[in-house]
A and B are shown apart, each in its own frame.
Chain A
Amino acid sequence: QVTLRESGPALVKPTQALTLTCTFSGFSLTTPGMCVTWIRQPPGKALEWLARIDWDDDKSYNTSLKTRLTISKDTSKNQVVLTMTNVDPVDTATYYCARSPYSSSWYHFDYWGQGTLVTVSS
């Protein structure tokens, strides 16, 4: 059974860094063709793709947020960590992690965590 769970602070002050952890089970991030993706959704708005980390440690970032994002993994703990620096109130959103099998031409999100709401406010 595949599960993912996001954890992190519910409230962060502007200019601070936000660190979110995705803890998963039921699959391995050492399996070729597997990755984990972070996605966010501001209240009442659309989904936004943030970053992904592949089984071979290859990383991809949203070009608009690239300078502020860092994604990493700890395969021994089955965790993927996303750090966002210099947060702003516009970063207030529900943050999801998702399991993402992929190949050269297909990529989708077959299992999602429940999401964690992060509010950026002073």
Chain B
Amino acid sequence: QSVVTQPPSASGTPGQTVTISCSGSISNIGSNYVSWYHQLPGTAPKLLIYRNSQRPSGVPDRFSGSKSGTSASLAISGLRSEDEADYYCAAWDDRLSGGVFGGGTKLTVL
């Protein structure tokens, strides 16, 4: 069981905005920056958002991240069929002295 919690699934129709939540504690999200990754089947995860809200070059601005207290969110606007993937949040945990991942959210584009 992950110390950081994500909903197991999310869905939306093309063009919609979908938000995925990531809930942690003071020792991880509450004290450190959050990053987000997406993973297509059979491929390695790819960095989407780092330091809560920063996008690496090449990531569309349809993807945005935010953090408040011990929770973070990933918003995907203008949903596209190719956004169908698994999404993970991650952060450093000061109490564990290690990294932690959320349990992942499977996004379905209806």
Contact = CB atoms under 8 A, between A and B. Distances in A.
Contacts of A114: 43-44
B59 to A, nearest CB: 11
Nearest to A112: B44
A60 B97 contact: yes
B62 interface: no
Interface of A: 37, 39, 46-49, 52, 60-63, 96, 102, 105-115
Contacts, number: 71
B51 A108 contact: yes
A37 B99 contact: yes
Given A46-B88, A47-B88, A105-B32, A110 B99 contact: no
9 contacts: A39-B99, A46-B88, A49-B101, A63-B97, A96-B44, A106-B33, A112-B44, A113-B44, A114-B43
Interface string B75-108: 0000000000000101110001111111110000
